[in-house]
Amino acid sequence: MLVLGYIWLPFVALPIFVSLESLDRRLLEAASDLGASRLQAFRRITLPLSLPGVVAAFLFVFIPTLGEFVTPSLVGGASGYLYGNQIVDLFRDRLSRLGDGLGACHLPARRRGRLTIVSHAFSSPGR
């Protein structure tokens, strides 16, 4: 997965860079003059004006990356096993283990909660 990040990083950075480069810096200066903090200026000026670049970056990367996962199953068929199939299998395996672990942690907590409620309900108010 790290390799996919390195491969697609330029396709994410370029549209965002272009949208930020076209941003009028006088708007940020005006926000500063009006008392906005850097975070407020980012939230109210930079982010909304760079949103088209973020959306374009998402689409530039999401669609081909989805193709990298779907193509091996289409090309390899039922008998072929390609790298994309292996990546999908790894995700399924790790996500199922994560779900099992979360369920194992969640179940005792729910039981403790029920026991606490039941013991509190049957305890006498004088004790």
The domain limits of the chain are 1-80, 82-127
pLDDT 10s digit of each residue in the chain, 127 long? Answer: 677 778 888 889 999 999 999 999 999 999 999 999 999 999 999 999 999 999 999 999 888 888 877 776 677 666 666 666 777 777 777 776 665 555 555 555 555 554 454 454 445 555 5
Residue whose pair of structure tokens reads 């013991």 in the numeric block: 119
What pLDDT does residue 123 have? 53
In the block, tokens 């004006």 appear at 49
What does the CA dihedral 69, 73, 79, 85 come to, rounded to 10 degrees? 20
Q: pTM of this prediction?
A: 0.55
